[in-house]
A = this chain, B = another copy of it.
Amino acid sequence: MGTTIGIGLLGLGTVGSGVAKILLSPQGRHPLVSEVHLARVAVRDLNRPRDVSIPTKLLTKDPKEVVDDPSVDVVVEVMGGIEPARTLIMRAIKAGKSVVTANKAVIARHGEEIATAANASGVYVLIEAAVGGGIPIIEPLKQSLGGNRIKRVSGIINGTTNYILSRMSKEGAKYKEVLNEAQDLGYAEADPAADVEGLDAADKIAILSGLAFGGSIDRTKIPTIGINNLQSIDVQYAKQLGYEVKLLATAEKLIQNNERLDSIPLALSVQPTLVPKDHPLAGVNGVNNAILVEGEPIGKVMFYGPGAGAGPTASAVVADILNIAGVNQLETSTTCLDPLLSANSWRNCHLVDRNVMIQRNYLRLNVVDSPGVIGRIGSLFGDRKVSIQSIVQFDASQEGAEIVVITHKVSLGQMNDSLEAIKHLKEVAGIASHLGCL
């Protein structure tokens, strides 16, 4: 074991145990796995029974001991949460150790600080497991798509909400019911806010955009709408109109020419979105994730697979460990980094205001069922230059009817102006839903 690379594991929960299992059973895997060994492991409780057997002398309750241990060459942070994860990552970097982390929350918020420190120390911070679970998406974005001008990255990048939406679509079930069952099954956490309010997806699209567009992203400025207020009736109407509702995270570069600008304008958002049934993202069900990348000259490529779970996430963590182990064999000078692995920012980006973003929209309006209502709504949109693709009336209840409108592409500013006016029509009792539409 002497000359192999020592791994210090911070956390031995589901992902940490998954990583340990791979490293402890190298047979049949890439031979480089044999050149890596578990050197030290930080756990919360030394005496908890585990399904992976690790020599007791490797265990410690103090994560700093793992980071500082001279036999640890690479620190693998799989404890989650902002602190102490951030401090431990920075401590490892300052000690000249490369870091592998699955921590999207830390990277989305402190990625720039961490990258700057890593480059100064000549170490790598690799984050394949932070987005898309087992799906290779970070490496391909960094290493395989560099020849492209990326135009758009969009995807289903939260497994919990996709599981809930898939069941709502299939069974016509209500959000609350499915959430409760998902919690019982362990697919959703006791406090599901980060998932169902879209915050986890926003962390991840911030990370993907930073890599795709080459500039750091202000995580706090991403307009984020979760599925926690989604009505099952909208999922059903969407289906009848030929769509599936997905929690879509999207990032789009708003200039397509290549003039030199001080900063590249980007539109980022997370919101429930109608996806046409023949679109590759529409068939992504259950806890699976998929990320669609569009660029010039590649066109569209999609990466699909399990978005969470111990095994897939551990696979991604080990991929990063192997990448560091591979480069390690090149006997490089310590300050030199492979620019594709190290992933610096190389231009400035800024997020545009939600009002200037352009999208198709799905609207459900509660109306009084009267002969002229569709005409009046249509004219009102027309007056405001909002082009309509379809207006359909559903006879939902005893008291009134429901009208579902799908618009062509329009800025959200124009859309909101129109909605303000529509609210004041006497036939309109209320705007029940407003979702995005691909």
Residue numbers of A with Cβ under 8 A of B are: 18, 21-22, 25, 27-33, 128, 134-136, 139-140, 143-149, 214, 258, 260, 278, 280, 283, 295-306, 309-312, 314-319, 321-323, 326-327, 329-333, 336-341, 346
Contacts and interface: CB of A to CB of B under 8 A. Distances in A.
Nearest to A264: B28
B140 A136 contact: yes
Contacts of A329: 336-339
B304 A302 contact: yes
Contacts of A338: 326-327, 329-330
Given A22-B297, A332-B331, A143 B323 contact: yes
A258 B337 CA distance: 36
Contacts of A298: 134, 305-306, 311-312, 315
20 contacts: A29-B149, A30-B147, A31-B346, A32-B339, A33-B147, A135-B301, A136-B145, A143-B326, A147-B319, A147-B322, A298-B306, A298-B312, A300-B305, A302-B302, A302-B305, A304-B304, A323-B340, A326-B340, A327-B338, A330-B330
A305 B321 CA distance: 28
A133 B129 CA distance: 26
Given A139-B143, A299-B306, A312-B298, A32 B340 contact: yes
A144 B305 contact: no
A8 B276 CA distance: 44
A297 B314 CA distance: 8
A346 B30 contact: yes
A139 B265 CA distance: 30
A112 to B, nearest CB: 17
Contacts of A326: 143, 338-341
A147 B318 contact: yes
B147 A214 contact: no
A432 B181 CA distance: 49
A149 B341 CA distance: 24
A146 B318 CA distance: 8
A205 B310 CA distance: 29
B306 A28 contact: no
Given A30-B346, A323-B340, A329-B339, A299 B318 contact: no
B143 A319 contact: yes
Contacts of A341: 326
Given A29-B146, A30-B146, A331-B332, A134 B340 contact: no
What 5 A-B pairs are tightest by C-beta distance, nearest first? A297-B311, A147-B318, A30-B146, A301-B305, A136-B144
Contacts of A314: 147, 297
Contacts of A305: 298-302
Nearest to A309: B299
B331 A147 contact: no
Contacts of A258: 25, 27-28
